Amino acid sequence: MTAAERLFDRNGFTATGMDRLTQAAGLSSRTLYKHVGSKVALMGLVLSEREKRFMARLEVDSIDAVFAVLEGWVRDEGARGCLFLRAYGETGGDMPEISRVVLAHKAAMRAKIADIIAQEVGSNDETNAMLTEQIVVLIEGATAAAIYRGPEAVMAARKAAAILVAQARP
């Protein structure tokens, strides 16, 4: 899993062939297929494991802490953009095994952000829904901009998020 994630993250899903995956994992192609079934299934497993790691880090209670987590993730994991969105983009959303994992991850992340916002600013449903959407867009944008700007993109989004949260407080 670790070898596959590293290769998919660095080279993309399409450009990473099964021969490269078996070599990196030190397995025969027969063994790899026996355990995962297909490259698409392996992609789904890699994304599921990555989601578990990211969501475990996201056990925080403020929007500021969410951006601190994202900044740490970019520093630790690298700034190559969101692997979930890259997988979705490369597959065109046409592979149910991948789409399911990507959309579930994005929904879980959005729900976590919504919960944090409700705790931070109170329970005005209309304001919270708009603020949640704005914060999600800042997270996604910072992740994409970090490709060429590094962690500074996350820091800029963190400052913008702080302003939005402060304005939403009663």
* Local confidence pLDDT in tens for the 170 residues of the chain: 888 888 999 998 889 888 888 888 787 778 877 878 888 888 899 999 999 999 999 999 999 999 999 999 999 988 899 999 999 999 988 999 899 999 999 999 999 999 999 999 987 788 899 999 999 999 999 999 999 999 999 999 999 999 999 999 87
> How far is residue 34's CA from residue 32's CA, in Å, rounded to a whole number?
5
Beta carbons within 8 Å of 146's beta carbon, 6+ residues apart: 74, 79, 81, 153, 154
The per-residue DSSP string of 87-104 comes to HHHHHTT--HHHHHHHHH
Distance between CA atoms of 14 and 63, rounded to whole angstroms?
A: 35
pLDDT for res 161: 98
